[in-house]
Amino acid sequence: MTHRTPPGRACLHQLASQRRLPAHQPMDRVTLQWIADNRPVNFDAAPSFPRAGLMLVPARSWFATPRQADANHGVLHNARVSLYAALLAQEYGLDSDDIAAVCAAGAVHDCRRRDDRSDPGHGPRAASWFLDHTDTVSRTLGCELPALSLHRAAEAIAVHDVPYDRFTVRQERAYRQAPHLVDVLKAADCLDRYRLPLQQWWPDTSRLRIPVPDWLPPAAFALVVRSEQARLDGATPHHAVTGARQSLTVGQ
């Protein structure tokens, strides 16, 4: 990796340290190098995914704006979360419909963001978009999902950014209908926080309601670094994330 960043633009790590992060936060080479250099010391030196796992790479057109598709909550982030969600769902014995549903939820959970800040309400906006575009999402995923699975996936999307202790009565009621999908999506989203430019924002698995297998955090960290590097080197988002996943998958 090189340490270059566009002239006149500070890197995300520096901006975050100064509390000056902009609304849109595409990855830069200096920040990615900082992430790679700060790999947690307890991580496996040779991280890998034990199986390929289902992954859905969202189209750029699914995002609120082209600029947001390339930002920190854009195509690469949503694709990685879809993979982690599918792997976790498989790890905990969910059936094939739930695995596909939570994979789809991961792929669209941030697609209606307006910026890379907190953006309250982006979860319900993404859930609404998902329900309006289930045919498109299912066709891209390559399978048809039952209406109940789609509804539960939408409920998970709607609360993915809401802390458990802040659920409304209605959200708590919806959570009890399919807690496994909500728990898996929240865990998957958490695991992709290694892309963020300050370590204090990296995953805190104590906030989750399901345990995360030991092999997944190191593999998630490596997937962030490899996919973001490939994108900075000119690969399309699809090739960047699928190529990085393949390089980390056992037997590939």
Kindly list the distances between the CA atom of residue 91 and the CA atoms of 110, 175, 212, in Å, as whole numbers in the listed order.
24, 20, 9
Residue 115: CB partners within 8 Å, gap ≥ 6?
Answer: 23, 24, 68, 71
Residue 179 maps to a domain? yes
pLDDT at 8: 55
Please indicate, yes or no, if residue 240 is contained in any of the structural domains: yes
Residue 206 lies in a domain: yes
Which tokens belong to 132?
Answer: 């309006």
Identify whether 231 is part of a domain.
yes
pLDDT of 169:
97
How far apart (Å, rounded) are the C-alpha atoms in residues 214 and 18? Answer: 33
Q: Is residue 30 situated within a structural domain?
A: no
pLDDT value of residue 45: 87
State the average pLDDT over residues 201-223.
96
Give percent above pLDDT 70 in the chain: 97
Q: Looking at beta carbons, which pairs linking 225-230 to residues 24 or more positions away fall under 8 Å?
A: 225/32, 225/35, 225/36, 227/76, 227/80, 228/27, 228/32, 228/76, 228/195, 229/1, 229/32
Residues spanned by the domain of 58: 50-248
On the question of pLDDT at 4 being above 80, the answer is: no
The tokens describing 37, both together, are: 């250099």
Residue 182: inside a domain, yes or no? Answer: yes
Task: Report whether 111 contacts 62 (CB < 8 A).
Answer: yes
pTM: 0.96
Distance CA 119, CA 97 (A): 30
The encoded tokens of residue 205 equal 């698995």
Burial of 200 (0-12, 13-18, 19+ CB in 10 A): exposed
Express each pLDDT in 28-82 by its tens digit: 999 999 999 999 999 988 999 999 999 999 999 999 999 999 999 999 999 999 9
Indicate whether 40 belongs to any domain: no
| CATH number for the domain harbouring residue 124 | 1.10.3210
At 164, the amino acid letter reads: Y
Domain total in the chain: 1
| 83 found inside a domain | yes
